[in-house]
Amino acid sequence: MCGIVGFVGTQPAPGEVARSYFALDVVLEGLRRLEYRGYDSAGVAVVADEQVAFRKKAGKVAMLEAEIEAAPLPDSVLGIGHTRWATHGGPTDANAHPHVVDGGKLALVHNGIIENFSELKSELVAKGHNFVSETDTEVAAALLAEAYRELGDLSAAMRAVCKRFEGTFTLLAVHADVPDRIVAARRDSPLVIGVGEGENFLGSDVSGFIDYTKQAVEMANDNVVTVTAAGYEITDLDGNPAEGKPFTVEWDAQAAKKDGFDSFMDKEIHDQPAAIRDTLLGRFDENGKLTLDELRIDESLLRSVDKIIVIACGTAAYAGQVARYAIEHWCRIPTEVELAHEFRYRDPIVNEKTLVVALSQSGETMDTLMAVRHAREQGAKVIAICNTNGSSIPREADASLYTHAGPEIAVASTKAFLAQITATYLLGLYLAQVRGNMFADEVNAVLAELRQIPEKVQQVIDREDEVKALAENMKDASSVLFLGRHVGFPVALEGALKLKEIAYLHAEGFAAGELKHGPIALVEEGQPVFIIAPSPRGRDSLHSKVVSNIQEVRARGAVTIVIAEEGDTAVNQYANHVIRVPQAPTLMQPLLATVPLQVFACAVATVKGYDVDQPRNLAKSVTVE
């Protein structure tokens, strides 16, 4: 939530021809790339001629750009920017960041929530300070300005105020008195440093500066960094030197572009074969044996595990639900899946024999991060499955397994979901291998199936026009239901979530067996119902039960859209529409059956004229609880 970017370049030497880009270019490009993190309002501040100049505007980055075009900012080699997902105060110009205080000399942008802001605000009001916004950020800026006046050093002032703040934050500050630096701090909110030549960057994630450098540095919590064109210096809050953790970004700027697709979501749906392929890559030794070297976790510890709890939110939690079927089947370890925000407040039974698997695309979801901390405090070992290098969740986990889906920009998760399922399957097979639950040839047989999935996903995508035509027909539906059994159940939940979040359509996913216990009352003439039919070549009882469910809703007037594998003719007579997916074993089916549901949601949202990538009220990375 909220995207932050900063840039410090070298001043042109006297007489030197102007630079090819200035702070504003870098910051605006960064904001465009980070806009998926929040898009209620945006703003930039640059320091030039020993003054802070800024513009900010409610609405998307494009509104800010129009504002700057109407009232240009001076050329500068130092700038910060912000794109907001509102927490304190609505999305107005006044509440937009940066917040500029100290007679216009200090500008601050902020991601997160300062929980004790009202107490700090009262203190400042008592001293005569006037506030023009409703934000906690303006309070932080005023406090920072006060500390700067007292200490005469912006970095020391930042350390001092961070000690007073409760809550989570990333802060970036510039001051006209020190026009060569940005001072930044983080606690439980993301911030990475980008290292260039004669120029350095800051971003909520690497996409903030990916056009300029691939060299990045992670920063620990409660660290403050002072960034100049020449370098960066990190300290803890007491001013002791601290180390960052350098890493190289593996994807390039092109990966975060639409590549001719109408939306990032559309592109990311098409990226899915590669996302699965890349997530499988490099996980085998020369004999084809599964080796998850990067886990760096003691095998004896994995053998001692007697319970697994998968924690995640939203789509990632549905990936966890899919994983549960596979892990329990392969490893015979009781596996629970819990929404991270519920896990934490439930007093769960967790001990050193519990393996917690934290699933998160962004690696920054605050609910999941807090659950990770809670699990570790109880003695559990935590494995993070994440897509974002350098993010908080893998940093705090005992071990990590990265998905290699590339940057996911659309707010609605697609390729991360399939990559998460793939990675949890690798983990499940690895556990089964280490614990001796499966023979090598059994593991290899599943891996062989998994390796065929990218090609099969491509076949589903190749038929997307049929699904798009269906979306065109159904755009006026007021509600859509999704039914599934076994692994089809989380797929149904995911199909409904996609439709809600981007097409603003009422949608519900149900376990098909639950139908007669209540939800069937919703079915009336014309009600669209998607049903995920399991493979008839799997457990027969599963398939025939779902066929009965299709009949039941059809008999009550539903328009049935059945996702069924090729050759499954049993569904034909009860289906108004059949969407075919290639044949695959039951556990592999979610990787195929989800794809038409993603295409459907994307197409309905497009037909309705909605912003597919930036749905209302949402942000990509939920970094507040």
Active-site positions read 2, 620
- Min. distance of Cβ 588 from ligand F6R in angstroms? 21
Q: Where are the alpha helices (DSSP H) in 339-414?
A: 340-343, 366-377, 392-396
Residue from the set 205, 218, 501, 552 that interacts with ligand F6R by CB under 6 A: 501
Site for ligand F6R in 405-424 (CB under 6 A): 412-413
Binding characters for ligand F6R, 563-602, by CB under 6 A (x = yes): ----------------------------------------
Site for ligand F6R in 84-143 (CB under 6 A): none
For residue 611, how many other CB atoms are within 10 A of its CB?
Answer: 14
Q: Which is nearer to ligand F6R, 83 or 135 (CB)?
A: 83
Which amino acid is located at 115 in the chain? E
- Min. distance of Cβ 316 from ligand F6R in angstroms? 4
Q: Which is nearer to ligand F6R, 165 or 600 (CB)?
A: 600
| Residue among 218, 213, 112 at smallest CA distance from 165 | 112
Q: Specify whether the CB–CB gap between 136 and 171 falls below 8 A.
A: no
* Three-state secondary structure readout of 496-514: HHHHHHHHCCEEEEEEHHH
106 token code pair: 């200090």
Q: Determine if 622 is a binding residue for ligand F6R (CB under 6 A).
A: yes
Binding characters for ligand F6R, 205-234, by CB under 6 A (x = yes): ------------------------------
- Min. distance of Cβ 386 from ligand F6R in angstroms? 8
Residue from the set 79, 112, 179, 314 that interacts with ligand F6R by CB under 6 A: 314
- Tell me the residue nearest to ligand F6R as measured from the CB: 314
Q: Specify whether the CB–CB gap between 531 and 550 falls below 8 A.
A: yes
Q: Which is nearer to ligand F6R, 204 or 365 (CB)?
A: 365
3-state helix, strand, coil in the chain (%, to 5): 40, 25, 35
Site for ligand F6R in 341-380 (CB under 6 A): 360-362, 365, 368
Q: How many residues bind ligand F6R (CB under 6 A)?
A: 15
Q: Which is nearer to ligand F6R, 360 or 400 (CB)?
A: 360
- Min. distance of Cβ 309 from ligand F6R in angstroms? 16
Determine phi and psi for 108, rounding to 5 degrees: -135, 135
* Three-state secondary structure readout of 259-286: CCCCCHHHHHHHCHHHHHHHHHCCCECC
Residue from the set 61, 313, 375, 383 that interacts with ligand F6R by CB under 6 A: 313
Q: Which is nearer to ligand F6R, 278 or 501 (CB)?
A: 501
- Min. distance of Cβ 486 from ligand F6R in angstroms? 22
Classify 79 as helix, strand or coil.
strand
Q: Which is nearer to ligand F6R, 188 or 568 (CB)?
A: 188
- Min. distance of Cβ 485 from ligand F6R in angstroms? 23
Distances (CA, A) of 404 to 279, 527, 565: 5, 38, 27
Residue from the set 315, 354, 589, 614 that interacts with ligand F6R by CB under 6 A: 315
Element (H, E) at 4: strand 3-9
- Min. distance of Cβ 325 from ligand F6R in angstroms? 19
Q: Which is nearer to ligand F6R, 321 or 560 (CB)?
A: 321
Q: Specify whether the CB–CB gap between 487 and 594 falls below 8 A.
A: no
Reading phi first (left if > 0) and then psi (alpha if -120 to 50, else beta), residue 255 is in alpha
- Min. distance of Cβ 614 from ligand F6R in angstroms? 12
Q: Which is nearer to ligand F6R, 335 or 623 (CB)?
A: 623
141-148: Cβ within 8 A, 24+ apart: 141/99, 141/100, 141/101, 141/106, 141/107, 141/108, 141/173, 142/101, 144/101, 144/106, 144/108, 144/171, 144/173, 145/101, 145/102, 145/105, 145/106, 148/102, 148/106, 148/175
Q: Which stretch binds ligand F6R (CB under 6 A): 245-253, 308-316, 482-490, 539-547?
A: 308-316
How far apart CA 140 and CA 79 sit, in angstroms, is 19
Q: Which is nearer to ligand F6R, 226 or 365 (CB)?
A: 365
Cα 146 to chain centroid, rounded = 36
Order of strands across the sheet that contains 577-581: 506-511, 479-484, 528-532, 559-565, 577-581
Which amino acid is located at 567 in the chain? G
Q: Which stretch binds ligand F6R (CB under 6 A): 188-196, 251-259, 310-318, 594-602?
A: 310-318
506 token code pair: 């009422």
- Min. distance of Cβ 541 from ligand F6R in angstroms? 32
Cα 163 to chain centroid, rounded = 29
How far apart CA 371 and CA 306 sit, in angstroms, is 19
Residues that bind ligand F6R (CB under 6 A): 313-316, 360-362, 365, 368, 412-413, 497, 501, 621-622
